Structure 1
């Protein structure tokens, strides 16, 4: 089965505009034509893409799954158009960054601010997703920089570990354990604990610490992001152990930080494409990123000393 470009355009337009009428207008064609092309597409693939309630179309779960792939191809086409326009206007400098949501919220803003202050002509785009989805997108889309927790190898790309300190304990304000300056694994025995999903590479490292100490935590909630985890801690749902960037970010939002007696090193995995595909602007961004990382490591020490 091979779908043609027109069928994909029609399907995408309906998904984006939520109606056949609006889709037809965006494609500069008639509503009957779009309806016919949609029926032909559904007949070819062998399943319905939309539930029909009168004139209203509601996408099926299969349509949503298909569109998650289709949308990426359209983003790629839009990016080509944007770059072509930029080249015409002599402003093609663009850095595409893929990263975890935790970095987009608690780490990158400072790097981006400093970078653009010195180079206002450069355009940046930040694509943030969870670890598994992000690694998938990094194989299907072109990025200049990737920042992940897990290691990543693809073709001629390289991954380098950046030392970012160590994992930190996080507590809601007023929690009894905040009376201690250094927390032992045994202190978590029976304590309500917010934890990462199985896909998180640091979930297993944290589990190993508690397994070695024979400590049974009271698991209260599982979340896929460090920012979600710290928000739950701030609300008093439980305590946890998290990367230092997010911990420091939430220290300004009522979360109390403490050092763990068992050091669990934390690294950011810096992904770069093959050397022939690297830009000078991306190289400059990486140098600034390293500088900010070192500065933040000093900030972590100050926060823990308070």
Structure 2
């Protein structure tokens, strides 16, 4: 049986008419090709070429074989092109979704890195409410969802993505803008813009005040973090927001202040347990985790130890 390498060499000799020409075409040494050609003919028990005045001419018995070899070679080229296309994401589409807080900054930055690896990959991005994520996955509309809470479901896996903290955001012109840290008591003295306490981030926010025995009044509630930021920038109050929404200073006119209270929250990647993720979805998941951990103010104990020991 001929190997793919033998097929490639035989076709190169057929096209160029000489060992030297085939060696140049394949960018290999001529003596090596000559030995491989002799070995091939000996193995097959037939002579594929006649040697005439230094030229290699296909024998009459082998002409039909050469026609078939040419077809095989074209199919191999088609296969290699198809594989290369998959490596670039050609003719493929990745369907993913995210809750707004992660979609605002983290997802676009992750997509930019994903396109560097798969430049031809098509993308279908959705922004979902938490309650929409299950239908999105179970109905096969997409492969995964970046989400801000988890719950038990027999068909959905919730994999930890990243942890972060809530921050207090104030207008840059506010007297509070000079502060690096603020307490729940101090925040309660200002008009507060926030999200519903029934939301995952809203529950963490409410717990900060409850645990510190501080009464607060939320004058304005907004569903999306981008809306909250715009309201604060308009001077309508201060707000508590997740750090991923305001990462990299994308929202202008605001100052982010660390909160002197437990404000840790967790995010997850949700996907179906019974279906494997595509290589594109796996790569997106990995890049999103890297992107979110790179901006998170939470550091693992191991990282802290290395920093104290001067190893990073």
Q: TM-score, normalised by structure 2?
A: 0.62
Where does residue 260 of structure 1 map in the other structure? 259
Going from structure 1 to structure 2, the CA distance change for 1:198 and 1:214 (only over 3 Å counts) comes to closer
Where does residue 14 of structure 2 map in the other structure? none
Where does residue 174 of structure 1 map in the other structure? 173
The ranges of structure 1 where at least 4 consecutive aligned residues each deviate by more than 4 angstroms after the TM superposition are: 249-252
CA distance in 2 between counterparts of 1:228 and 1:192 reads 16
Q: Which has the larger radius of gyration?
A: 2
1:215 aligns with 2:214: yes
Q: Mean Cα displacement is larger for which, 146-155 or 277-286?
A: 146-155
1:237-262 Cα shifts (integer Å, max 9, x gaps):
11111111112255541110011111
Find the residue that maps to 1:262 and give its secondary structure. Answer: coil
Where does residue 280 of structure 1 map in the other structure? 279
Where does residue 44 of structure 2 map in the other structure? none
CA distance in 2 between counterparts of 1:171 and 1:135 reads 35
Where does residue 158 of structure 2 map in the other structure? 159
Where does residue 72 of structure 1 map in the other structure? none
CA distance in 2 between counterparts of 1:261 and 1:298 reads 13
Where does residue 128 of structure 2 map in the other structure? 129
Q: Mean Cα displacement is larger for which, 243-252 or 99-108?
A: 243-252
1:240-287 Cα shifts (integer Å, max 9, x gaps):
111111122555411100111113112221112225331112111111
Find the residue that maps to 2:275 and give its secondary structure. Answer: helix
Instruction: Please give the root-mean-square deviation of Cα atoms over the aligned residues, in Å.
Output: 2.6
Where does residue 142 of structure 2 map in the other structure? 143
| Residue pair 1:164, 1:266 contacting (<8 A) in 2 also | yes
Where does residue 66 of structure 1 map in the other structure? none
Find the residue that maps to 1:263 and give its secondary structure. Answer: coil
Where does residue 197 of structure 1 map in the other structure? 196
CA distance in 2 between counterparts of 1:96 and 1:153 reads 23
CA distance in 2 between counterparts of 1:299 and 1:115 reads 25
| Residue pair 1:220, 1:237 contacting (<8 A) in 2 also | no
CA distance in 2 between counterparts of 1:210 and 1:104 reads 27
1:39-60 Cα shifts (integer Å, max 9, x gaps):
xxxxxxxxxxxxxxxxxxxxxx
Q: Mean Cα displacement is larger for which, 120-129 or 150-159?
A: 150-159
C-alpha displacement at 1:299, in angstroms? 11
| Residue pair 2:162, 2:266 contacting (<8 A) in 1 also | yes
| Residue pair 1:197, 1:223 contacting (<8 A) in 2 also | yes
| Residue pair 1:143, 1:273 contacting (<8 A) in 2 also | no
CA distance in 2 between counterparts of 1:224 and 1:242 reads 11
Q: TM-score, normalised by structure 1?
A: 0.63
CA distance in 2 between counterparts of 1:295 and 1:239 reads 26
C-alpha displacement at 1:230, in angstroms? 1.2
Alignment of 1:60-79 (within 5 A): none
Where does residue 98 of structure 1 map in the other structure? 97
CA distance in 2 between counterparts of 1:214 and 1:161 reads 31
Q: Which has the higher helix share?
A: 1
Q: Mean Cα displacement is larger for which, 131-140 or 248-257?
A: 131-140
- Can you give the 5+ residue segments of structure 2 that lack an aligned partner in the other structure? 1-84, 300-312
1:78-127 Cα shifts (integer Å, max 9, x gaps):
xxxxxxxx99xx94422111111232221111100111122112211111
- Can you give the 5+ residue segments of structure 1 that lack an aligned partner in the other structure? 1-85, 301-306
CA distance in 1 between counterparts of 2:92 and 2:134 reads 24
